[in-house]
Amino acid sequence: MRLPSPLPHKKARIEIIPLIDIMFFLLASFMMVSLSQVHMKGIRVNLPSIKGVAQPTPPPLKKDYTSLRVDGDGFVHFDQEMVTDGDVTPRLVQMHNANRDVKVFISADKDALHGDVIKLLDRVQSAGITKVGYEIKVKAGSTGAPGAPAAPPPPGP
């Protein structure tokens, strides 16, 4: 025979409220720790060299392109070397035959005519050179293209 227990029988329950409180506490703690981390930034330091020890010389930077420039008089310059009008196309063909992947950057002086630049571009394409870029340089102190609005002055201290 079974006798009932004088103690009331309770079923086990899982309380979720304290679990949520702990999870919010952990989340807030991790957020505060991640916000307080300092990003370490290094600075360049010129360390003294030891006398008598050979210092490695940096390799010279090899330019992998040819710069073509049209000046105000319509003359073409190959890397600062002026070339006569009749020698431009043969030199471009020679460059293309020596290296099929030759890269060419075309630039022009401010006083150069648009037609001279297009004529040079046509010569580059007729030589078979397909990797063509355009160099656009703005000199310090210049205001940019005519009619373009000037840049605002830098903010004061």
pLDDT at 147: 45
Q: Kindly state the tokens that stand for 121.
A: 């571009």
Q: Which residues of the chain have pLDDT under 50?
A: 141-142, 144-150
State the pLDDT at residue 49: 75
pLDDT of residue 149: 47
> CA geometry: angle at 101 spanning 99 and 105, to 5°?
105
Residue 107 CA to residue 81 CA, distance in Å, equals 14
Report the CATH architecture of 66-134: 2-Layer Sandwich (3.30)
Q: What pLDDT score was predicted for residue 145?
A: 47
What is the pLDDT at residue 54? 61
Plot region of 88 (φ>0 → left; ψ -120 to 50 → alpha; else → beta): alpha
Query: Which two structure tokens, joined as six digits, stand for 137?
Result: 């340089």
**In whole angstroms, what separates CA 132 from the centre of its chain?**
19
Q: Where are the domains of the chain?
A: 66-134
Q: What is the pLDDT of residues 21-47, one digit of tens each?
A: 999 999 999 998 888 776 667 777 787
At residue 111, the pLDDT reads: 87
